[in-house]
Structure 1
Amino acid sequence: MAGQPPSASTSVLIAGAGPTGLTAALELSRLGVAVRIVDRAERPSPESRALAVQARTLELLRVRGVGDRMLPLGNRAGSATLYAAGRRLASIELHRMPSEFNFILMLAQSETERLLTEQLARQGVKVERGVTVTTVRESAEGVDVTMRSSGADETVRASYVIAADGPHSTIRRALGLGFAGRTLPHNYVLADLHIDGDLPSDEVSIFLAANGFFAVFPMGGGRFRLMATDPGGVATDAGEVGLAHIQVLFDRVVHVPARLHSMNWSSRFRINSRHMKTLRKGRVFFGGDAAHVHSPAGGQGMNLGVQDMINLSWKLAMVLDGRAKTAVLDTYSPERLPVIRKVIGFTEIGTRVFNSTNRAVHEARIRMAPRALGRSRVQEAAAAMFGQLSADYRGGPFGAGDRVPDADGLYDELDLGALTLFTDDATARDATRRWDGAVTVRPGRDDGWLLVRPDGYLAARGDTGDIAALTDFLREWFVAPGDVGMADHTDAHKVT
């Protein structure tokens, strides 16, 4: 029964074992938090689905034991090139990204999930499959979640819940939260297949025409992901999207002769562009597709979800063990929502421009693309945006918010479970001793100090002798051991 008392407890219950939920489980368990992760599916999906792993995601996952395992399995695309009327218009030069990972890594989502799951298993956590969340009730003591598995119900009390259960999120609906947005008008077709033809294996190729749009994403070994508009309804009325339908869409837009074959899967879809107005309700946090969906243009979605969880997890861990004040959790939604809105905004613009079948719009994009992408400033901005390297938390409630580049191995020096103070200033080092456990000190700056968050963003900075700014920041957000009454929330459910 839904009203039965909890039969078990945990610090954090994660609903959904896609890349978002797996990242949350990986991060939290690595930081010593007791987690359970459940998924309604009986087994992982074998489909490639989300394909692009962006530079910022690779930067963050490398130091967490997964990024380096991804690299040899994926295919690198160093540019995104626009074609029209049988000629090359311009390329977005991804090598301009300000990152070691100045490319898009094409890797099937099924492989990303496998790598995350394997790392999670090494940390002692197993995904519980075939488990459906049925009710969610918050109380003063935590969140009571009833789940059904093999016909039996279990009620678990969690200190916090992370809803990563997809665009049709059961938890979002159970809490009566909206998912504002719209469905875009075009019909689309997706497919994974092989192509015999002279198509680049190291670039995303985007073909524009007045009667459609066709994008080709190289996965390596002659295999490609295709995405196309279907304005004439070539595949709309078919029971299934067949290889013959996709060949017709390809031939009418792409000027390169090619034979499509060996299709693994295909689908038709409409684009939903939606996001929640807040990513938190009480002790329940939302991330990934449960919180935001948008056009697949640019391969941004999965990366947003992974980065949602890397933002949230260290904050949860520090609150749960009493090193941070609960106000730190209030910063998750205000930091991530502006990033999400920007991604949704530019994917909608890109979708409208690239997919338009208006002849005047088509002529304008052919004329304007070479001019715009001929400017270095535009190239650098576009490359950084693709790689999610331009995302920051400036203007948010919690610190400076700039992305700190992973230069000269800096991320290898980060404490991924606490703030890291880079300084050679003895006064600054001494000032942080009260927050031992919340701050780790590293050498590296003789002109002041730099306080970096576990997610690679700047918390605060100051010149030599500017100690008040450092201590004021720490006093506002973190707990100094021995400060009576300062730890306004702790939790006993830690991994021992």
Structure 2
Amino acid sequence: MTIPVLIVGAGPSGLTAAVELSRLGVDVRIVDRAVRPSTESRALAVQARTMELLRVRGIGDEMLALGNQARAAGLYTGDRKLAPIELHRMPSRFNFILMLAQSETERLLAEQLARQGVKVERGVEVTSVRPGGDTVAVTLRGAEGAEERVEASFVIATDGPRSTLRKTLGVPFPGRTLPQDYVLADLHIDGDLPEDEVSIFLARGGFVAVFPMGRGRFRMMATDPDGLLDGDADPTAEQMQRLYDRTVGVPARLHDVNWSSRFRINSRHVPTMRAGRVFLGGDAAHVHSPAGGQGMNVGIQDMVNLSWKLAMVLDGRARADLLDTYSSERLPVIRTVVRFTEIGTRVFNSTNPVLHALRIRLAPKALARNAVQNAAAAMFGQVSAGYRGDALAEGGGGVGALRAGDRVPDVGGLYDALDLGALTLFTAGQAIVDVGRSWDGVVSVRDAAALTPDGWLLVRPDGYLAAAGGPGDAAMLDRWLERWFVRPAVTI
């Protein structure tokens, strides 16, 4: 028996794919080689765009209740604040960074998945992958050593940066390992550090970033260019205190480490996110600096992008080439994230005295400009990312400043009105309504006289604009739908 989708890897990306696909009626199996879920906090930041997508899918409210909101990122030298990055400027109702341990995000996703009738199969690893014509043959080995051969119509590889599937399929993973050594620790800090702000301390000898987790708990990340921390063991509170005291001018006592680690940053991404019937996502497709807390969010958004397309192709509502737009849309976003996080890391981590003097002098001037603040906030929250110019946006038109491929702002309850399993047509024009109704099952029609009285918006399940136009653009709407979707059979 062939299963529609096998998902390999049960981190945030794989769990998101399983939640989304099973909610859309697709039978899935999700396996992970780890015997039990991770209890480490790992990725910490949940960005505005991720919250927009997860809230309407039934997970965001619990995340909000558990997480801690940071509405600014302050740049310091010693104890002097150079400038804030005003995250509250994000053009989203979630105009903050939500600090929530990755283990909690995974738990909430897994609980939602269980409510949908799907359980993660743990202690199961992939030993071979053989693509065929209409299926992919995958051999799985369970915790007891028994092997099982599975045939899947499609496979989603979210099995991490050392992805077995990516390596087996021969997909390159080009990039570089950055030279600096880093340490991080989740611990308690007693001192005058804000709990609603990320604090970044810049010094000639490196940097320290402190992320508030709530109730006196923080994540501290630091460079150690002078080798103050000897050995290879995970850093202790005393060692983190030495790095803190060297760079930060705000007196504090560090204690009670919950988790700590040493690491180096890899900055890599695949050249394609599709290898036949296997799709790559999350850390299996891209890894980069944790600067800005972007990584987990990019992976979750990968899977929201892919899942609605895959569900519509599997049930015959969309043409197969819609699946090619997963890679063509997501790769430019990923390239931008990798490039900017690497640049930011190099600037913040530099021990060059000239560069340090420049960043101390220029940061306040740059961040005093509204345009810079607005752009920085939107970039951090990932609400500025879009797919304008991709193949799926061609011929989609637009309305006002909004063009096909752009993120549609969640105004007037628009996201709550979305059909998350189909395209949603917001219109008050009868000719446009008639076109939408002729695509029943592909398009859900919503009366939107108040939202767009003189035009129409066709919005994708992931909240991006598919197409838009005026009352005379009914033929254009029909042509755009015909390009990517399968017209429903007329019943008599």
Same fold judged by TM-score > 0.5?
Answer: yes
Q: Which runs of 4+ in 1 moved over 3 A?
A: none
- Match of 1:257? 251
- Match of 1:41? 34
Q: Report the CA distance between 1:85 and its aligned residue.
A: 3.4
User: Aligned partners of 1:471 and 1:294: how far apart in 2?
Assistant: 41
User: Aligned partners of 2:92 and 2:302: how far apart in 1?
Assistant: 20
- Match of 2:14? 21
Corresponding letter in the other structure for 1:438: V
Listed as ranges, the matches of 1:45-444 within 5 Å are 45-149=38-142, 150-399=144-393, 400-444=404-448
Q: Report the CA distance between 1:483 and its aligned residue.
A: 8.2
Question: Residue 435 of structure 1 contacts residue 478 of structure 1 at CA under 8 Å; is this kept in 2?
Answer: no
- Match of 1:5? none
- Give the gaps of 5 or more residues in structure 1: 1-7, 485-496
Q: Report the CA distance between 1:236 and its aligned residue.
A: 4.9
- Match of 2:401? none
User: Aligned partners of 2:412 and 2:187: how far apart in 1?
Assistant: 40
Corresponding letter in the other structure for 1:406: D
Q: Report the CA distance between 1:402 and its aligned residue.
A: 0.4
- Match of 1:479? 486
Deviations along 1:110-136, one digit per CA (max 9) or x if unpaired, are 000000001111111100000001111
1:457 to 451, 454, 464: 464
Q: Report the CA distance between 1:233 and its aligned residue.
A: 1.5
Q: Which moved more, 1:463-472 or 1:59-68?
A: 463-472
Corresponding letter in the other structure for 2:405: G
User: Aligned partners of 2:79 and 2:211: how far apart in 1?
Assistant: 18
Corresponding letter in the other structure for 1:460: A
Question: Residue 236 of structure 1 contacts residue 268 of structure 1 at CA under 8 Å; is this kept in 2?
Answer: no
Q: Report the CA distance between 1:451 and its aligned residue.
A: 0.5
User: Aligned partners of 2:34 and 2:369: how far apart in 1?
Assistant: 47
- Match of 1:492? none
Corresponding letter in the other structure for 1:18: G
- Match of 1:494? none
Question: Residue 437 of structure 2 contacts residue 444 of structure 2 at CA under 8 Å; is this kept in 1?
Answer: no
User: Aligned partners of 1:90 and 1:431: how far apart in 2?
Assistant: 52
Secondary structure at the aligned position of 1:195 is classed as strand
Secondary structure at the aligned position of 1:432 is classed as helix
RMSD after superposition: 1.1
Percent identity among equivalent residues? Answer: 70
Corresponding letter in the other structure for 1:146: T
Q: Report the CA distance between 1:424 and its aligned residue.
A: 0.6
Q: Report the CA distance between 1:448 and its aligned residue.
A: 1.7
Q: Report the CA distance between 1:432 and its aligned residue.
A: 2.5
Give the paired residue count: 477
Corresponding letter in the other structure for 1:446: P
Question: Residue 6 of structure 2 contacts residue 152 of structure 2 at CA under 8 Å; is this kept in 1?
Answer: yes
Deviations along 1:166-200, one digit per CA (max 9) or x if unpaired, are 00000000101110000001000011000111111
Question: Residue 420 of structure 1 contacts residue 439 of structure 1 at CA under 8 Å; is this kept in 2?
Answer: yes
Corresponding letter in the other structure for 2:419: D
Secondary structure at the aligned position of 1:13 is classed as strand
- Give the gaps of 5 or more residues in structure 2: 394-403
Q: Report the CA distance between 1:9 and its aligned residue.
A: 2.7
